[in-house]
Structure 1
Amino acid sequence: MQKLLVSQDLLIIDELGFVPLSKTGAELLFEVISQRYERGSMIITSNLPFDEWTEVFGSERLTGAILDRLTHHVHILEMNGESFRLRESRKAKS
């Protein structure tokens, strides 16, 4: 699986941080990110600011290493506002 994830032209990780990772899961994700570093494109979505990612990965050192790789050669799009799902749900109830 790891070789497959590394070999893709684009890897999308949606809702990173929605569920905290186990120690093993965090280490495996680090390996994938490290292997893809400067070799393949990634899109990562998260509702968490970077300073809360330590809660997801469980280690300041690991989080720092991941962020170091992810934020080098990056475009960060910060989107604020109402959730489109919430907006659509409200429309449906009206």
Structure 2
Amino acid sequence: MKKLRLLLITLCVTALMGSMAVTAYAGGGEEWDGLAPVEPLPAETVDPGEGFTEEGNLVTRDLLYDEHTNKQFITVRPAAAITFYIVIDYDKPTDED
């Protein structure tokens, strides 16, 4: 009886494992020509920024202000060529504790 039970459990496990490996709709269907090929974007050029001081090594890349969200976005880059993004939220309440 134990051998029959072990055989049935092994058979069920094998059947379940085999059925889960079947991919659904992986190889069928007509080719869809709905989208045109996308042209690659032009290479982005980086303009030299201005340093905060004459001997400083921090250079600003972008200074943007969004009136709708009342936020200022600043992109800076030190001499190590790591870009930092700074977001200033003018609507955030200040902590006065």
Larger Rg: 1 or 2?
A: 2
Q: TM-score range by the shorter chain?
A: under 0.3
Question: Higher relative CO (CA 8 A, sep ≥ 6), structure 1 or 2?
Answer: 1
Q: Pick the structure with more helix per residue.
A: 1
TM-score (normalised: structure 2): 0.20
Q: Pick the structure with more strand per residue.
A: 2
